[in-house]
């Protein structure tokens, strides 16, 4: 839990972080005058139930849900959180909604075999579309939605809460967690990080999709992480023209040596090398 008390609008933010087996993803429960705003809703139903239990324990109404981007670890739990509640708006930008609609069936096919009944049979599509650059007032606060386009996912939306100078950045940043570089847009992601560093200099606190809340300066760690992959993979491609199993193992060893063993989601490293190789090859 974080309490932001240095502003005219004191704010309490509760955090639920899932297990590494379900991608170590964050859901944020933000206390406002109108009730709780939940940002991102988890990957599997058991983790969404944990968020719901946390929400119920707070004893406040659910004022709204916000989805930051079209990856199922951020939108799968929406329907469960809405059970027993009516007229709760679910906000996202049109690009994020399009992204959810484009992948949700394929992702269910991909993951249902592993997670079984813990993976939802249907996807709740956000009901309230907020164009990029527009705001919505919830609980006496102004929530500004801004799309950054394709990067870690097919679209990344950041949400600025103007009154308290904080940024919910979704998966634009993984804070000391191994990142998802599988989709082959690492260069676009680097450009997004540059945009955030340049245009959000007044932000006092960042709330990432994975990892602990931090400051704007920590975005440079994500830049370093992506650059490390690109540098290692590019060097091997220039040397041999491809990534062999042996060279892949060598790249993985260098990444594990560079970043602390305490970082979650090291299981993504092999997939990340493949994604960067396809992107740069």
Kindly list the domain boundaries of the chain, sorted by start residue.
2-224
The answer, yes or no, to whether residue 4 has pLDDT greater than 90, is no
Q: Residue 83: what are its φ and ψ, rounded to 5°?
A: -60, 130
The answer, yes or no, to whether residue 199 has pLDDT greater than 90, is yes
The answer, yes or no, to whether residue 5 has pLDDT greater than 70, is no
pLDDT tens digits, residue range 94-106?
999 999 999 999 9
Percent of the chain at pLDDT exceeding 90: 95
**Average pLDDT over every residue of 256-270:** 97
The answer, yes or no, to whether residue 57 has pLDDT greater than 70, is yes
pLDDT of residue 8: 62
> What global pTM score does this model have?
0.96
Got the DSSP string for the chain? Answer: -EEE-SSSS-EEEEEEE--GGGTTBEEEEEEETTEEEEE---SSHHHHHHHHHHHHHHT--EEEEE--SS-HHHHTTHHHHHTT--S--EEE-HHHHHHHHHHHHHHHHHHHHHHGGGS-SS-PPPSEE--TT-EEEETTEEEEEEEEESSSSS-EEEEEEGGGTEEEEEEEEEESS----TTS-HHHHHHHHHHHHHH-TT--EEEEEEE--B-GGGHHHHHHHHHHHHHHHHHHHHHHSS--HHHHHHHHHHHHHHS-TT-S-GGGHHHHHHHHHHHH-
- Mean pLDDT over each residue of the chain, to the nearest integer: 96
pLDDT of residue 7: 60
Superfamily of domain 2-224: Ribonuclease Z/Hydroxyacylglutathione hydrolase-like (3.60.15.10)
pLDDT tens digits, residue range 208-250?
999 999 999 999 999 999 999 999 999 999 999 999 999 999 9
8 Å CB contact between 144 and 164:
no
Of 192, 188, 182, give the one whose Cα is nearest residue 158: 192
pLDDT tens digits, residue range 107-135?
999 999 999 999 999 999 999 999 999 99
Rounded to whole angstroms, how far apart are CA atoms 138 and 143? 7
8 Å CB contact between 46 and 68:
no
pLDDT tens digits, residue range 19-43?
999 999 999 999 999 999 999 999 9
Q: Are strands 205-211 and 166-175 parallel, antiparallel or unpaired?
A: parallel
**Average pLDDT over every residue of 80-86:** 95
Tokens of 125: 């599509």
pLDDT of residue 2: 75
pLDDT of residue 10: 76
pLDDT of residue 75: 99
């Amino acid at each position: 839990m974080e309490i932001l008390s240095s502003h005219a609008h004191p704010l309490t933010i509760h955090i639920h972080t899932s297990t590494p087996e379900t991608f170590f993803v964050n859901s944020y429960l933000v206390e406002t005058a109108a009730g709780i705003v939940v940002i991102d809703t988890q990957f599997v139903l058991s983790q969404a139930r944990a968020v719901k239990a946390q929400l119920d324990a707070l004893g406040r109404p659910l004022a709204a849900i916000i989805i930051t981007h079209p990856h199922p670890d951020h939108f799968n739990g929406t329907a469960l959180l809405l059970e027993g509640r009516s007229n709760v708006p679910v906000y996202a930008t049109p690009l994020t909604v399009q992204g959810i609609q484009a992948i949700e069936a394929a992702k269910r096919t991909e993951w249902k075999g592993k997670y079984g009944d813990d993976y939802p049979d249907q996807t709740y599509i956000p009901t309230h579309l907020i164009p990029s650059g527009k705001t919505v007032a919830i609980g006496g606060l102004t929530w500004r939605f801004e799309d950054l386009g394709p990067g870690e996912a097919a679209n990344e939306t950041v949400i600025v809460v103007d009154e308290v100078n904080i940024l919910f950045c979704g998966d634009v940043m993984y804070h000391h967690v191994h990142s998802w570089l599988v989709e082959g847009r690492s260069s676009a992601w680097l450009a997004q990080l540059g945009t955030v560093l340049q245009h959000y200099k007044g932000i006092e606190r960042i709330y990432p999709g994975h990892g602990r809340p931090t400051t704007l300066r920590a975005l440079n760690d994500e830049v370093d992480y992506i650059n490390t992959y690109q540098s290692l993979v590019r060097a091997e491609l220039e040397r041999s023209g491809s990534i062999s199993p042996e060279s892949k193992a060598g790249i993985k060893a260098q990444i594990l040596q560079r970043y602390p063993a305490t970082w979650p989601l090291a299981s993504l490293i092999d997939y990340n090398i493949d994604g960067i190789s396809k992107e740069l090859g």
